[in-house]
Structure 1
């Protein structure tokens, strides 16, 4: 007599099969470009503490093993101002007490702007390892570079303070000073993002920016005062660096700020912001392939 064994049914013996996940790759188009770019910006600002920490570590690693560290920048700036201030005041026949504070603040501002633009070209290419290995917002790398440049320029503030105290220059407090500082912070972030995108796509951008800044150094009122240009001062507004420097420099050095300076500065800043956001929204998905 055959015995029947209780064997599980075929369906029960086989493991339960689960549907394999399917990855749907949907290309960006239309409004999604701007939505993802805005989300990247929001995510980067949410990690602002990480960006500030990375910027601080960059400063520490850059000057590791140095005795003075970043204060070499302070010493070199002081020596350059002392040498150039006396010479150019003599050549332009200007009073040293009036010219040296102007030159000091102008050179510090220009040094910050120049280093921000030139280092901005290498922001994404220098962070290629992190971009390829970790999923991080692109704007976090921009925030890191911006914080690093602001920490660097902070080491030159003692030079400005000593010169102002030595020549008894009392900055005229104005409600526009905090707004001008905010404009500079935002513009440094936006300009770094713009040049980071262009520098990742076109490797000719860094030398172009370096050459352009060298030309603008002599065209922009940095070594010379705008008052020396008796005719055609309005043409200086076509130089984006002039109104941006003037909104922060004029109140501190006691110069008169013309009415057209602020509209020009805000106009250049708004144009820069719109152009950068449009370019970032269009090129953000390709940045990882360019670096």
Structure 2
């Protein structure tokens, strides 16, 4: 009985066994892409700055147009909806302003995230950089715009300081009394960091999917208006309780089942002195864990195909 032996492929030119081809689909390669991308922060941070400069090239006010347009929109919506819901402008305008600023950050990462790799087709095919560089470029650009838009918040805060710092104030008549603005406002910093972490997987996942299925950006764009009006940005959950009582029932699910509501609240609540609930943080953290798991799985399987799909 003869013993079996393992046969290795032989390189006839060198006369030695050849190494097996590396597996392109591995989590090790996906994590290596993320690590290398973070290390190249000078590249993606420079590209992010250049995107904003290029957008407002030859403009007199430059990036200030971001703040001006945001301020006009927040002011118009605040004046309108405070009258529609019979609310004090001193408390309702800050509520809408901060909600709109956070919404703009979420929306920017979602809509521009679907176009991240498609818009960078030339760089992907000619620049040997990790895919995560383009993800970080998008998130960094949106973060700069978010900080820019915070100028509006500080202006509104200075004007309506007495309204939102008074303990027991309400967003709407007969609404839930709020504790008022205090040192808890600094919780908005880790809140924004958690949102930015989620923005990373959103851009990565939707960006890769959009290179394969070009209908995704159009689907997202068509749902934007519905998402805006279904999210408590220009309206408050207090309005539901005021109209239907404490037992809101299924109507309360309109907000609670909307993930964007929780994303907005972990930043808006501390910035305007609202009562903060731990379940918003748990839900957003849960989305970060599940979302990055899906994004890494997609990156493991399809990272090498992006350059062919764009």
> For this structure pair, what is the TM-score category when the shorter chain's length is used for normalisation?
0.7 to 0.9
Point out the structure with max Rg over C-alpha. Answer: 1
Return the match for 1:172 from 172, 182, 207: 182
What 5-or-longer segments of structure 1 have no aligned partner? 1-17
1:186-206 deviation line (CA, Å, top 9, x unaligned): 112221111111111111111
Q: What is the deviation of 1:212?
A: 2.2
Q: 1:92 to 1:115 in 2, by over 3 A?
A: same
Return the match for 1:219 from 203, 213, 230: 230
Q: What is the deviation of 1:91?
A: 0.5
Q: How does 1:192-203 map to 2 (within 5 A)?
A: 192-203=203-214
Return the match for 2:239 from 224, 228, 243: 228
Are the counterparts in 1 of residues 101 and 146 from structure 2 also a CA contact under 8 Å? yes
Does structure 1 residue 183 correspond to structure 2 residue 208?
A: no
Partner of residue 173, structure 2: none
1:39-82 deviation line (CA, Å, top 9, x unaligned): 00111011012110111111111111111112112111121222
What 5-or-longer segments of structure 2 have no aligned partner? 1-12, 166-180, 242-247
In 2: Cα distance, 1:172 partner to 1:151 partner: 25
Are the counterparts in 1 of residues 195 and 284 from structure 2 also a CA contact under 8 Å? no
Return the match for 2:75 from 55, 79, 82: 82
1:239-265 deviation line (CA, Å, top 9, x unaligned): 111111111111111211234222222
In 1: Cα distance, 2:146 partner to 2:27 partner: 33
Partner of residue 26, structure 1: 21
Partner of residue 264, structure 2: 245
Q: What is the deviation of 1:179?
A: 2.3
1:8-41 deviation line (CA, Å, top 9, x unaligned): xxxxxxxxxx96xx99783636xx5111001001
In 2: Cα distance, 1:156 partner to 1:166 partner: 16
Are the counterparts in 2 of residues 237 and 261 from structure 1 also a CA contact under 8 Å? no
SS at match of 1:155: helix
Q: What is the deviation of 1:116?
A: 1.2
Q: How does 1:1-291 map to 2 (within 5 A)?
A: 26=21, 28=23, 32-168=25-161, 169-170=164-165, 171-174=181-184, 176-230=187-241, 231-232=248-249, 233-234=252-253, 236-291=255-310
1:149-192 deviation line (CA, Å, top 9, x unaligned): 11122221111110011001443323643321220121122211
Please report the TM-score for the alignment, with normalisation by the length of structure 2: 0.82
Please report the TM-score for the alignment, with normalisation by the length of structure 1: 0.87
In 1: Cα distance, 2:20 partner to 2:307 partner: 16
In 1: Cα distance, 2:183 partner to 2:134 partner: 34
Residues paired across the two proteins, number: 271
In 1: Cα distance, 2:223 partner to 2:206 partner: 13
Partner of residue 177, structure 2: none
In 1: Cα distance, 2:86 partner to 2:49 partner: 43
Are the counterparts in 2 of residues 237 and 264 from structure 1 also a CA contact under 8 Å? no
